[in-house]
Each structure stands twice: as structure tokens, then as C-alpha cells.
Amino acid sequence: MGFADQRFNVNLSILFTELPLLERPAAAAAAGFTAVELWWPWADSPTPERSRLDALKKAIEDAEVRLTGLNFYAGQLPGPDRGALSVPGEESEKFRANVDVAADFAQSLGCKALNALYGNRVDGVDPAAQDALALENLVLAARAAERIGAVLLVEALNKPESPLYPLVSAPSAMEVVDAVDAATGLGNARFLMDLYHLSMNGEDLPSVIKGYASRTGHVQIADNPGRGAPGTGSLPLEDLLDRLAEAGYDGWVGLEYKPGDAPSADAFGWLPAHARAAR
């Protein structure tokens, strides 16, 4: 098997960021990719003007790439925030205002995966109260995803880089997936398996794959250490992706790594050109 047998997309919120947002889809296409994903592109606004949404939609369509994943509003990313839906007050209100906006934008481009980052713990707030708020908002998000025929993704991050984020293991994220499915009865919540974050947490990645591949809705990769391209660290990413395929995962693999000092277009030498187009 190997890298050439996977379906890769490029995360345009971490790669090609040396370019303006509207130029990134075409840059990904020029690098040979036919699919992209995004964090919520407007950290300043969960409900941007229609003109901004339309301009990004046109840029994606003109580049003839597919949007295969989109985050709901998650605060300042990159930055100190790690999500908004469990943060009481203004941030969770922004998340709720964003839910249908993000879902409608995803639907307009045929995107079938929406990622809802949980949010950091807040000083002085009972974690149980944050978890109750999170479940309420995740139910809202799951219903919006169901409306457009998409899955809702729940992601584990890593404790060294996100010490206030409570979902820092595969089991902790899966507990939330199960809670959402139990609350909605929709069965459309899925695990987002980010192999970089899980490796930073010291998890046994073959065991995670064996245990959770069937409940995984999306995979993201970066090497460790460094969060660079495959081959810049020590993670056996080719073997891990083979294990995922053997376990039945046939979905997208998002390239969510830092390009280093060179332009992003030069950060794909590990992947044969013929393997960059979706099959």
C-alpha cells in the first residue's frame, strides 16, 4: 500500500498561509491537489458578510478543488483559543450563531464533514457546567450537520500544546462522540483522528487505530517532533495510514502540518505528484 493509496487533502489554514486566503485554493490546485479543508477562516467573525462567504466559495470553485472539511467557529486559530462551544458567555454565543452559517457554507460546496473544537477550560467555571454547555452546543451542531448530510467531528488535541483543552486522548474524545450520539439519536458524530496530536499525548497509535478506526470520520497528519511534513520527524506515518486502511478507513487524510521555512508549494516532496489528486 503506502502514501499513494490514500486520499489526501490540504488544510489551507496551516499550509499556503503565506498567501491571502482567496489565493490558497488555486495554489493547492497548482501543487496537484484536488481537495482542501479549512479551519473557520474568519477568526474575527462567526457570521461574516455574505460577500466574504461568496468570494471564498468562488475561489474554491474556480480552482476546481473540493472542500472536504470545515471547522465551525473556534475563536482565535491560530492563537490561544482551542474552540468556543464549551466557553460560557460570548464565545459559546458566537459558536451558536455560526452553526447554521458554517453548515450552509459547507453544503454550498458539497462538504460532508464539520469539525467542532471543544474549547479550553475556564478559570472559575465548574468543568461539569462547561461539559453540559458543550453537549448542548454539540447537539445543535450535530443536527445542523445532519441537515446537510454531513458528519460532526470531535477532535482530541495534545496536552503539551493545549494544556487547558480537556479532550487530550482518543478515549476522552470518544466519550464525547458517544454522548452526542446518545443525546441526538442521529449517529452522525465521529472521531477526528489526528495522529500528530495523539502521538504528542504518548498514545499507542496502532491500538488507537484498531480500536477507533470504525468510528473515525476524518484523519489528519503531521510528523512528530516538529509538526512538519512526513519524513521530518520520527512518526511511521506511512505504516500508520496502511494500518488505518487495513482497519477499514477509506476517508480523507488531511495534511495539517507546518511547511517550514520554504514556501508551502515545496512542502510536498514526500508525496508523488500522481498521488495528490483524489480518486
Q: Amino acid letter at 163?
A: P
Choose, from 37, 91, 155, 203, the residue flagged as catalytic. 155
Catalytic site includes residue 161: no
**The three grid cell numbers given for residue 6, joined into one nine-digit string:** 490514500
Question: Which residue do the cell numbers 503565506 mark?
Answer: 18
Catalytic site includes residue 155: yes
The burial class, CB within 10 Å (0-12 / 13-18 / 19+), for 274 is exposed
**Alpha helices per DSSP H over 70-225:** 90-108, 127-147, 170-184, 195-200, 205-212
CB 85 within 8 A of CB 116: yes
CA distance 198 to 277: 27
Residues in a beta bridge with 7: 252
CB 194 within 8 A of CB 220: yes
Choose, from 37, 91, 203, 256, the residue flagged as catalytic. 256
Nearest residue to 151 (alpha-carbon basis) of 216, 98, 99: 216
CA distance 30 to 235: 28
Phi, psi at residue 245, to the nearest 5°?
Answer: -65, -40
The three-point CA angle 7-10-16 to 5° equals 160
CA distance 75 to 48: 14
CA distance 258 to 219: 16
Catalytic residue ranges: 155, 256
